[in-house]
Every structure is written in structure tokens, then in C-alpha cells.
Structure 1
Amino acid sequence: MWSNMFFHNGKKNNQLAGTRLQLEKLEDRQLLASEPILIEIDPGVPPNPFLFIEFNGSAFFRATDAATGQELWMSDGTSSGTQLVKDINPGTGDSYFYNPVNVNGTLFFRANDGVNGNELWMSDGTSSGTQLVKDIDPGADSSEPAFLTNVNGTLFFRAGDGNLGFELWMSDGTSAGTQLVKDINDGIGNSLPTYLTNIDGTLFFRANDGTNGSELWRSDGTSAGTQLVKDINPGASASSPSNLINVNGTLFFRADDGVDGVELWMSDGTSAGTQLVKNIKAGPDGSYPQTMINVNGILFFAANDGVYGTELWKSDGTSSGTQLVKDIFPGVTSSEANFLTNVNGTLFFRASGGPYGYELWMSDGTNAGTQFVKDINPGGDSSLPFGLTNVNGTLFFRANGGSTGHELWRSNGTSAGTQLVKDLNPEEADSSPSSLSNINNTLFFNADRGVNGRELWVVFPTEPLFVTGSDEGDGSVLVLDATGAEQYDFFPYSQAFTGGVRVATGDLNGDGKLEIVTAAGPGGGPRVRVFDLQTGSLFDGGVNDFYAYAPTITVGVFVAVGDVNSDGYDDIITGADEGGGPHVRVFSGLDGSVITEFYAYDPEFKGGVRVAVGDVFDNGTADIITGAGPGGGPHVRVFDGSFSTGVPLPGAATDFFAYDPSFTEGIFVAAGDVDGDGRADIITGAGPGGGPHVKVFSSADGSLLHNFFAYDPSFTGGVRVASVDLNEDGIFDILTVPGPGGGPHTRAFSGVDLSDLANFYAGDSQIEFGLFVAGGFGELSDIPSMNSAPFPSFPVSQDSDSPKDVNLETLTAKKSWADNTEEFYQSAEEIDKLFSGLGID
């Protein structure tokens, strides 16, 4: 998760002054939260949702409940938006919703109403609009519609009317318009159309006319236009075309001509243009091309040439352009490349590379660019990636991580970015996620958490968000996307308060959604408030409004967020600002209780203390990083968050000076794994007078990983820092904002090479109060959803200036869903009793 630092918001009197200058866009895609949400359908019956299809922006699928059996359901990803569409087979009978397809805004599928057998149905998403299209085989017998396919707004499918066998049918959604296209195998014989495929408005399929065997056919929807394309295996023998796929208007498939075995073929729809592409395996045995997929106009597939085993191949439709991509498992042994999946132009698949077992691979179509991604189940055991699914540029799949069993994983194509999403069935039990589906850029799937069988789970799309808090001179908070576009703004305290606001983000209730944690700057009481990142409203949780120290203390507070006691709930860490002692307190995110408190430096030191949180030792527990405020040297320390005694932890980078010891203007701190070793590294920013000097220290050995100026070196306002994996490459990136005297220039530097990931002004570029910043991933929507930062124990840091009186709050969000913000106040008398004796002298 992100901790924080904010920089100037450019806000005055509830208005945004000026406009932001967009300098560079981060990315043109949303990312996905890393925490799946459970949607309960029936707590007493395993719902087993599957056959997901996107329809009108929602997921439609088959699921079971105790009252209605297996029926058609829909979900927008929320509990309230998950409902039965219609009990097609009334009561506990099952309708067996199957083979859904969207044809120009109408959902067609097969179902059984208990009276007419398995027949063709349609739905507009409502109960009344879910109807039988036609009882093709009248009475209780079933026509068994199958291979439903949309060809330019017309539905084609296979069905049997009880008289003519299973033949090709079409439908416009009316009973009269649901008709036999052609009795291909005349009379009661079955032509059994299969592999129905739309090639630029023409239907191609396999069928048996009773004379030529199973061969390649085409249809324009008329009887006369439904014709044999070519008798590939002449006479009554069948070539059995299969694996039909459209590659830029050309049909590719595999077939057996009776001479060369099962090989790769292509067709332009004419007999002459239906040709063997290449006899990959010489002789009659065939190479058996399989798992075909189109990636950037090139056909990729697996085939066995008899020399290298079953390996990854590609074809441009010519014999010379049909080539082995790579012998992944060297020699005659097969890598068994499978589950080929296109993720924004990069091919991902499962293969065995020998010592790694069956693991995740990727390819750009070249030998050198075909690479092993990660040994998910280390050693010779296999992780067996399964169900590879592209959701908005991120690959999701099921894999066995060894100790976790078969669980949900994700990958961006790097080893560091290939990560377990969550162990839904802890210990060594498997949740075995299945039916992974991209529905409107949201991942839907089923998994077994060990409670109620296979249940519905959702992972929502999110986008990188920046949260900025003004320094002294203003009291507003802005939430912006990575381009600098404002999403909403609010005043966490009184609009009259201009002491500045320090910010952090974290998940305080363990639901996978980020909250914004604010702390007042100098001039106000040490008040901490928590807001919903999605809406900007006061957090509806137990810990949302409290004083970190005695209410009479008005020096200001710094804040960071992280799970220091490993209970699954992020905790709130506070540090007193200049004028107070270096007093650090840790409040439980679960119940608000004080977990620990200590003085990071000499209690007599009055420069205050800045705080950050990160798992410095890669042990699953967040540690507290402190930086001395003005008046002391640039002293950084690391403490155990749960049981700190005020003594820094032992280690290579737990007690050191980040800059020249003579520099006494204070430093800001943040934490994030910048070098990908699993440990949160320490990021520092110089205070006023030191220039915008940023350093990154390895937590493993104290070495300097990065050393740069975030702005013009002549700027003397200092720099505030934060850290988050902004582009989700497994490496934390560095966020910066300037201190007083600088415009609200917000930047994000790649943790890998310091390249720009974001570069914009958060507000009026002419306002120079300075800022604090934090970040995270969220979905800004009026629908509750999963907003999570996929880096649970690495929050960013916060800096400070001063706040004022904090008794009243006015929220002015630019989103309608934030208009009804809940007000919550605690009396000073009650807080005095709760925190008596804990003030700073």
C-alpha cells in the first residue's frame, strides 16, 4: 500500500485555483486490484457459477441456489447487483443455461424449461424479456441447439427438429425467423455442423453431407449459398476440419487430406484457395496443430514435426513463413505448449522447459524473445498454469505455488510482476479458480474457499491515483489520476483551517479497499481522520476520527499506514511535528487501540519526527521508518512496529544519516521495494534548504540505489517523497512533490531507471504552498467495489507543515456520490480521557 506525501493542491475558499498542466501521461489502461471480492449467492448451497458472458456491461452466467436450481444469473460485481434473471425451469428444477452468445444486444442460449426440452432461448436481461424463441423439436423432446454463433447480426447454430436430423439453423430472434438453413445430409441423416466460425461475414463450419464425409462448408444463410468448400479428403473419407480460426480474414484450420495426416490448412472460401499450408511432419502421421491463436496477424499454435516434439510454431500463411518458434524443451521431448493467450500483442502460454516443469512462458514470436517468465513452483515441480485470461492488459491464471496450492495468480510478463493474487483457501488446500472471464475489464471467476463449494469472485479494475494534501496556507485534499486530472477534492477539516494536511493511504478494515488517512498540520489539534478513497466520504469504520495526542497539542502530525502487527488490518502510525518531541504512536486499524508508542530520538529533541512504513526485512511484518525533523541531523532509523522499545532494529540500513550530518533542516522518508528483492528500501527527501535531493538506500546492505534531484537543484524548498508500484512491474516507484516555494509539481520516477511515469501539476502551478503526497489504486465509481493497493506493507511517507483548529468539516467533492458525506465528531473531553497523559511537552 501507499504511504504518503502530499504537495500543494492549489485550493482556496473551496475552489481550485487555475488549471493543472499535464506533462506526461502514465498509461492508457486501468490496472486490477489484487484482492478478490466474494459475492455470495446462496450461503447454504454451492452456487458453482460458470459459463460467464459479457452482456450489457454485466456478467451473465449459470449458477445454483436452493430455491431455483441451476438457472440464468447476472452480476455487476456487487452483492446487490447479483441476481437471478429468471427461473426458467420453475421451482428447484434446472434449466441448464448453456452456450450463450450476444447477437446485437440480445443474449441467445440453450435452456430447458421442464416442458419443451433443451431449446433456443433469448434474453434482454430482464425476467419478462427472457423467453423461449422456438420449440424446434416440439414437445418434451430437445432440439439441443449448439455452437451458437453470431455472423453479422444473425444467429447460426446446430439443432435437430426430430425429422431431419441435426442440421444448420439460423434465427433473428422470432419464432417465424428461426429456420432450417439447409438439410445438408438429406432426410433423417445428421450433417452435424460443428466449429461454426465467422470469417468476415461468412459462416464456415464442418459438416457431413453423407457423401463426402466431414468436410469444410460455408454458408451465407441461404440454402443455395450453403455449400461444400472443398472435399479435402476425396470421397467418403473425412478430412475432419477442426480448430477453425480467423486470422485477418483468412480461415486457418487443421485437416487430414488422407496423405499428409492432420496438418495446417487455410482457405479463402474457394476450393482452389483451400490449401495445405505446410506439411510440418513429413509422411502420413501429421503434426496435429492445436491451440491456435491470432497474435498481431500471425497464427501461433503448437505442433509436432517429429524432430523436436510438440513445440510452439507460427505461420503467416506461407510454407516458408510457417516455422518453429523455439524448441523450448530441447530435443525430441515435447514442451507441450498449451493455453496460448494473447495479452495486448504478447503471447503467454504454459510449457515445460525441462528443469522447471510446466510453468508460465511468453513470446514475441522470435526464438530469443520466447522466454520463461517465472518458476512459480520452484524446482522440478510444476505450477501448471491454467485458464490464462487477459483482463485489460494483465494476465490472470490459476497456478500451484507449492505451499499455497492451486490459487489465483497474475503476471505482467516479468518475474517480479508474476505474483500470487491471494490464497483464497489458506494452507495447502486448493481454491482452484476456474472459469476466469474478462467481463467489462473486470475479472469474474469461481473458486472454492473451503466453505461453500465453488462461489462467485470478482476482481475489479482500478487505476493509479494520487492523493495530495496542501502544505501550510491551505487545508484541502485532491485525488487525481496519473495524468493529473482531478477526480474530486475535499476539506478533511474546517474550510477555514489553513495549516496543511498530511496524507497516507491504506486498507484499515482488510476489505481490499483503500482509505485516505489525513492528519492536520500545525495550528490545529492532532486530529486524524479517515476517508473512503472511492467516494471521499468519511470512512464507515470503527477507526475514522481521533486525536493522536492530547487535543491541546497544536504542532501538527505526520502519518503513515501499514500492517505492523500482521493481523491483516493496516495500522495508523503518527509522528509529532516540529515543536513536539519525536513521539511515534501506532494505532490499530482494527479497533483504534494503541499498539505501541516510543520516542524515535532523544525525547528532548523538539524537531519532531516524520514516519513511513515498510517491510524492511521481508518477514511479512511492516517496520516503522523515521526521519528527524528540523534541528537535528538527517537521521534515519527503523523500528519494530509491534514491540518497539525505542531502540532501532539491527541491520545494515536501520540507523544512519541520509545526508551530510551537518544538514539540520529535517528529512522526509518513504519505503518501497525498489530493487525487487522483497525488502522495502528506504527513500529519503531533503527538507528545506537542502535542495530537492532524493536518495534510495537498499535495506539489505545500505548501499545507494538511486541518488538524484527531483527538481531544479537550485530550488531550496526541499522535496517530499512517497513510494508505490505505479505501473505494477513488481518494482516500487518514487513519488515526489516540492516543499514550500515550489508549485504543485507532482512527479513519479520509475524505480528501475528513474524514467518519468507521471509528471503534472496538482492544481494551480502558480501556488507555492508545497504539498504532501500518497497514492494507491482505486476505482472511482458510485458502485462499491474493490479498490486495493497490491503492495500491502509498503506505504509511502508523509510530511508536514501546520494545521489549525479542527472541529468542523466541510466536504466539497466534485462527484455526486460524495455529496452526502457523513459527519462524525468526538468531544475533546472524551478524547482527553482516552489519551490523558500522552501529550508532547
Structure 2
Amino acid sequence: MGRCLFHAVAVEVICVIGRLAVQAESLFHCVFLLELRDSCVFGCSMSECTNRTIALGFEMLAVILWSAAGCGAILGLDDFVDAETTVMGSGGDAPTTSSAGDAPPASSTGAEEIPTVPVLRIPLNDAYLGTMRKSGSRRPVFSWEASAASAGAPIEYELQYGADPDMSDAASIVTEKTQYRPDLDLDGELFRPVGQRYYWRVRACLLGKCSDFSPVRWFNIGRTKCDFNADGYDDVAVSAVGLTVDPGAIYFYYGAAGRQFGQSSNGVVFEPDGVGGFGVSISCAGDVDGDGYADVLVGAPYGGDSKVFLYRGEQGDRFSGRDVTELRAGGHSVAAAGDVNADGFGDIIAGGDGYAAAHLYLGGPPDVFRASFPITLADDGTAGTVDQTLVSSAGDVNGDGFSDVMVAFISAARHVVHVYFGNPGRGFDAVPKVALEAPSDDPIFVSSMASAGDVNGDGIADIVIGSSQLDRAYVYFGSAEGPSSRPDVTLVGEAGTRFGTAAASAGDMNGDGFDDVAVGTGDYLDSLGVVYLYKGASTVRFDDVSVVALYSLSDRQTGFGSVLGSSGDVNGDGYADLMVGAPFADAVYVYLGRPELVTPAEADASVSQPHQASRPFGVAVTRR
């Protein structure tokens, strides 16, 4: 009995000291709780009681030093780790669910406010980051907006990231900052499919009260969006369109280290029977079925029926095209849609000549995708009688974690570009949220359009639209509300050069963290085709310093600049690369990214096919 009395008194003394040290009324109740846990009610020897009392003393010392008041801190019940610390989860150690306020209050100040849920910024959902071949490239920057709270104490954030969607293996980081970058490269598979998908989320805590975790987002480490054979290099597909009796074909070129890219093709897929215009449009589709291999989307708008073909990526050194799904939808314009419902599968969109609507297909396992029906995105009547629809991913232009899409409804009298916001589930909201306009009185302004990536580094995707009629290109910045209907930046080309014939994101070609934009002139009449590369920056002005001119050889009338491809990083050095088509020269020129981009820039490599007047090569090149 003496040892029990000794233990109880010692516990009470420890709690009183702690209460005096941190002024936390909740500590007044520690005697009873600690007695339940460690007292002689459970039976202990004198030495055991002494050891437990000493341990409690150290626990209380931690409370005093860290000002972590409340019995939860002493009893080890808090699931929030103080200071900027990494705690690796193991088999479910990391919390997988959270409810607001589940952490105990830190003091008796009466503050019950719970901070708002952090809004995630970067990495963007389904982003492709780093390479397995370059050390230091797999350390992504995690960034989020500051949470709101009226209390004067600093807000702390818990970041969790790991390779399992349920966060069971997540690393846990606690910091007062709103961004974090790992000290070491994240792990990824070295065998096909290479790389790894990671998931992340953040919550905010104030005085022991924690918000819910943000919705989980994901990104891909060491993988690339246009990697058809999943070896870690982006690949390129180029179309040769049959104009008469010769069938069209798609040529595949697999990425490789250094300047080996394009030395020979890695497979050819020929035009199926009964269609025409095979390859007029082509796009990387992303990973539609979730197998780790990128897929390819090919449009065939002519012939008996307009069709779209989805070819699935495959292992090996040659692309066979054996696994294909045929879709009856448009074909004049096809594009990856990103992941509009954030289910982890890439989605696709198609439009075409004579169509007053675009068709959106949601990705999924092969059996689910083949059975799905397209979602129709129709004009609201503002464009008049629609003759054609052009489609593109917009990226995530409102930062909500869902990819968005845009559709240009083209008529003889007016061009209208509608932006549709992604949303969860398989029921896509087919009501446009924004209508993009040109800052001029000319309603005929759309020649090309694309997601621009994130040119100003705010964590939200932007849009570029080329207008060859006006020799202009327009950049619309994304925001939490989506893009404004009017452009934020106008790029002005030389009059009469048809500047804006092609426009695309070039990715981050110089590795400065900002995506770059490419705009082509095409070489009509006697002008020399030129592609202008505009380097992104936090304050985007796109002045003369930020522009790099990409020229073709001295040849004119090659169509250089009228076709742009942005497949990604084809040589695996961590810099995005750009492809420029010259279909009348049967060639595609490759410009490799590097830290210093200077003007004029010459091509680093090229791919070509023997000239056939009836089947020009380079009519379309894959884009991400």
C-alpha cells in the first residue's frame, strides 16, 4: 500500500508542477487519468511504480518545454506532431480519416475556433514530375494556401504523402509554412511501368484544434504522360495523312537518352479499312485504363463515318496497335481531357466537322470504358449554325483538383469557346461555366487552342488561343473562379504572317518552374515559318527578353510552324522538349529543352519519311 501512496502522490506533484508551468486548467484532471493508466490498481512492484513515476516526469517536462497542454499530450493521445517533423506511417499508423476538432485543445484560453481546410495548389492533380534517371528531380514542391483563423497563435499544417490512396504508408510533415520540399528523392519503380503514383493531403491545426484533411490529390513521379511503352521517356507519334488512294499511317518514335531520339521509328499503325483522314488529328490520351502505359488517340473524320481510335500503350520496343477501341465521335479534333472526375483514369474528348457538339469519354478499366456512353457538350446557340467543333483540355483552370475542358463552336459568323469545369463522379456537368472572348470586335478569332500549363506559377492552369486571322494569340490566366472571359495577355505577331496558326504549351523547357508557351506562324505565301517560344514567369509580360524564336532551315513553303507537338521530355534529362511539324517537307523538328534557351534556336534532331505527295508526313504530332 505504501508504494501505491508514493506513486499517487508523485503523480499529483507532477501534474501540479505542470499546471503551474503552462497554466492549463485541463492538467488539473491528470491525476485521475494517470492513476487509471499507471497506478497500483493494475498491480506493480515498487521498482515498477518508481520507473513509471520517472517516465511521467519526463512526459511532463516535454509538456512544459513544448507548451503542449492537456492530458492528451501526456497520455500520448494526440495524433498531431509538433514542430517540422517527419513521421513515417507503418501499416496504418498515419491517420486515414479526420474530423474537425479531433485533437484536444492546447490551453484553457477557451479558443474553440477550427482553421479552414487548406486549399492545395501544387503539385497539380495528376501532374507528371521528375525522372528516374536524374537525381534530385523527384523532390516535388508541395504548396497550399494559408488557412484562415482569427486567433493570434500560428497555424501549423500537417502534410501527408505516400504511395497508397488510403494514406496508410504516408509520411507526415508538420510545419508552419505553406510549402514543403522533401530532402530526398521519392522512390519509384525502375521496371516497366517505371515510376510511381503518389497521393497527398494537408490539414491545419490551431491550439490543438484541427481542420478536416483536404481532398486527396495525386501526382506521378518518374512517369511521363506520353510514354507509350512505360520506360520513363516520353514518346512521339506523327501522322502521315493519305490524301488519295494511299492509306494514312501513324509513326511512333520512342524516347531515348541523349540525341538518339528519332533515329528510326518504333512501329507504324496503318489506316483501318472504311475510314478516311486517318491521323488528321492525334493526341496523347494519358493513361485511360490505369495500367501505367500512356494511350494514343487518333481521329479519322472522313469516309463513311467519322471515327476516333484509341490505341492502348504496350510493353516492348515496337508499337503494334493491336489493342484498339473504335469510337463513333467526330474525329477532326481529338484531345486528352485530363482527369475531369478525379477518379485516377485519363479521359478523352472529340469533336469534328459538321458536329454541333463534342463528346467526352470518361476513362476506366477496359471493360468499363468500352461500355460507357459519351457525354455530349453542345452549343447553347450563341455561335449560330455550328459547322465544326474544336476540343482541348484546359487543365485545371479553377484549382479545384478536377481537369477542365474547352470546346470551340465554329460557325461562319462567330467563334465561341466554352470552358466546362470538371466535377466528381461519372455524371459530368455539361453546362459551360465560362465563355472566352477576344479583346476585339472580330468574332472570328479561333485558329488553335490549348492548355498553356501554368505559365505564372500560381498553381492553376492557364489557356492559350491562337488567332491567325488577327495575327494574335491570347493567354487567359486561371483563378479560383476560373479564367476571365477576356484575355490577360495578348501576344502580337507580325502582320500577315498568320501568327497563331498553331498554339500549344511547350512545358517547362528551361527548368525554371514555369511552363512556356509556343505559337507558330505557318509559312504561307513567301514568309519563312517561325515558332515563337514565350518563357513563363511569376509576372508574365512575355516581353522581348522572354521570347525565343525557332526557325526552320532556309526552305520556304514547308508548313514549318503550322503544326506543334508537345509530347514532353523525350530524352529524359528533366527538361520538356518541343516538336515542330513541316508537313510539306515530310519532317518534324525536335527542339530539346535546356537551362539556357537562346534565339535563334536551331533544331537538335528531326524525324522524317520519304516524300510522298499523296501522303504528307507531319500533318499532326502528339500533344499532352
Give the number of the structure whose residues are more often strand, by fraction: 1
TM-score under structure 2 length normalisation: 0.47
Larger radius of gyration, structure 1 or 2? 1
Compare the two structures and name the one with the higher helix fraction: 2
